[in-house]
Structure 1
């Protein structure tokens, strides 16, 4: 037993030394791609899913269709309200109907005959009252009837003019407002109908589909996750002591081991400090305990060359 323990310890030490030797001159990092999440705006059940995991979709493609029964009911309500509002507005613009105008015309004719009769009677009594042939009281009674007939005739003339040229402007504005409101409600329903279709906002590759057909999708719930096209970049973690080797804007060559060490010409896009508990990209962080850690973001010069590199795969650069 005493002979076996040193042998095992020696093997472990040799393995550890081998790992250090193989990574001493390189810095390992990870491939990253920009992520996108597609969510729904309205609550509804998944009626159909038009894509599969791994599919590449273009901007404007339909990813899924939601079943929202409430939209059909609201459309019927909005269309009914718009029909009523249109009728109210038309009536406000055109005023009375032809039948109503006939009734007002007949009323005016009767009042004109009554007015003319009273006027003739008043003219006859005018000379008689001057000659004291009739009492003043009788004349005053006819004169009062004359004034009443004249007022009624003026009122019916004003009523006819009102309906011929439409109702009051305030009523027309009110009717127009009701019409605009109904049109807005219908437009809202049409917008909600469009939201039944979950549309791809950008070109991207689908990685996950979170719901199945028949399941309920709530507003704001992520339905699809994916990676954007030509968004590949590389992430490395370096200690403060080595920071002088990596300047923002400088060129650097990234090697992809799983693709037979494919060489990708890149540019250092950003250098930033990371927290102690951040996701460290480098597998063998060679740094002193007092050193701060920094993350360097490296972008390929030719996006097409890097778009086929799988996400989260290991890449390397020379130290």
Structure 2
């Protein structure tokens, strides 16, 4: 009888201890997750060199790959040529005409004045002859037209000489400055494109997959590297509708690794409903209602530098 009593007491003790132990852990199980990172290129090119391997940890600013973009060098030469040309135009606008240009204009002006004087003398002679009816109307009109053309040529050359003597107009200088700014902007754009040859890590991360190999063509926007942020760990729990009311955004939780027994203090930052597709209630309205499923996103608030986390590893919530 005593033996049975001892066995019964032992069983009750074990059940009691088991019940106490179960009270520490909720039925909600979650998974370890990491913020994902995808790295692509803005420009198309051929992969010249890859400097990392899958599974490697890299730091922010590390060079991951080198892309060969041959068009960059050609566009850089074009941009530098445009800058040289625009700078020459601006210098010419500031300096005005040279002595050689003035000499050429003076020579053209003197020749035009000589032609005008000759045309004037011819006009005077034919005018008297026309009044005496010695020449026809057509001959007189031709001489008159030549005189008008000679005067117009002299006026144009005189205006050109006045312009180069007084200096370049303000609008021409501003136009030359605009051309220089545009050429310099084009060069800066090419230099920025040259920097895109280097694929740089945007944050501390682990490289999980490399989608292409050296020599293959990389198109703009295509993810060359995929990985996880080193400091981007969080926990994801799926909670049924019947228990979601126990949680609120901002609540603090204690997360435990069931294998290492490490505990982490964490906070709920988001609660959202997971997508729910057709279930039995859509065809059988009288069937018992199914529960909606919600997701908790929980981030650590305590120091986790001494803990080890693996993606999709199981974690538990302590009460």
Indicate how the Cα distance of structure 1 residues 238 and 93 shifts in structure 2: closer, same or farther if over 3 A, else same: same
* Cα shift readout 1:186-206 (whole Å, capped 9, x = no counterpart): 222111111111122222222
Pairing 1:68–2:51 present: no
In the alignment, is residue 292 of structure 1 matched against residue 292 of structure 2? Answer: yes
Q: 2: distance between equivalents of 1:156 and 1:290? A: 95
With 224-233 and 36-45 compared, the bigger mean Cα shift is at 224-233
Cα distance in 2 for partners of 1:276, 1:107 equals: 89
Please give the secondary structure, in 1, of the residue aligned with 2:304: helix
Q: Which deviates more from structure 2 when the two are superposed, residues 173-182 or residues 72-81?
A: 173-182
- Cross-structure match for 1:88: 89
* Partner of residue 189, structure 2: 188
For the residue of structure 2 that corresponds to 1:32, the secondary structure is strand
Alignment of structure 1 residues 116-127 onto 2, 5 Å: none
Structure-2 residue corresponding to 1:171: 172
What secondary structure is seen at the aligned counterpart in 2 of 1:304?
A: coil
Contact 2:262 2:307 in 1 (8 A): no
Evaluate the alpha carbon distance shift between residue 289 and residue 149 of structure 1 in structure 2; reply closer, same or farther with a 3 A threshold.
closer
Q: 1:307 to 1:318 in 2, by over 3 A?
A: closer
Q: Partner of 2:33 in structure 1? A: 32
TM-score, normalised to structure 1, is 0.70
In the alignment, is the contact (CA less than 8 A) between 1:229 and 1:307 conserved in 2?
no
Match of 2:311 in 1: 311
Q: CA RMSD in A?
A: 4.0
Question: Do the aligned partners of residues 212 and 101 (structure 1) sit closer, same or farther apart at CA in structure 2, a change above 3 Å counting?
Answer: same
Structure 2: distance between partners of 1:214 and 1:251: 50
Partner of 1:41: 42
User: Shift of residue 209 of structure 1?
Assistant: 1.4
Give per-residue Cα distances to partners, 1:137-172, cap 9 Å, x unaligned: 7xxxxxxxxxx9999988766443321333344433
- 4+ residue runs over 4 A deviation: 22-25, 104-113, 148-158
Call closer, same or farther: CA 1:317–1:101 in 2, change over 3 Å.
same
Q: Which residue of 2 aligns with 1:250?
A: 251
- Give distance in 2, aligned partners of 1:184 and 1:318: 60
The Cα offsets for residues 60-105 of structure 1, whole Å up to 9 and x where unpaired, read as: 2221110011111112222222222222232233232221223445
Q: Distance in 2 between matches of 1:247 and 1:156?
A: 87
Cα pair 2:264 2:304 within 8 Å, conserved: no
What residue in structure 2 maps to residue 263 of structure 1?
A: 263
Q: Kindly tell me: are residues 154 and 310 of structure 1, through their superposed partners in 2, closer, same or farther at Cα, counting changes over 3 Å? A: same
**Structure 2 unaligned runs (5+)?**
1-21, 115-127, 129-148, 278-287
CA distance in 2, matches of 1:298, 1:111: 91
Query: 8 Å contact 1:230–1:307 — kept in the other structure?
Result: no
Q: Distance in 1 between matches of 2:150 and 2:75?
A: 54
Match of 1:221 in 2: 222
Q: 1:175 to 1:26 in 2, by over 3 A?
A: same
Q: TM-score, normalised by structure 2?
A: 0.70
3-state SS, counterpart of residue 79 of structure 2: helix
Aligned ranges for residues 87-236 of structure 1 at < 5 Å?
87-104=88-105, 158-236=159-237
* Structure 1: distance between partners of 2:215 and 2:183: 33
The answer for unaligned runs of 5 or more in structure 1 is 1-21, 114-136, 138-147, 278-287
Instruction: Classify the secondary structure of the residue corresponding to 1:75.
Output: helix
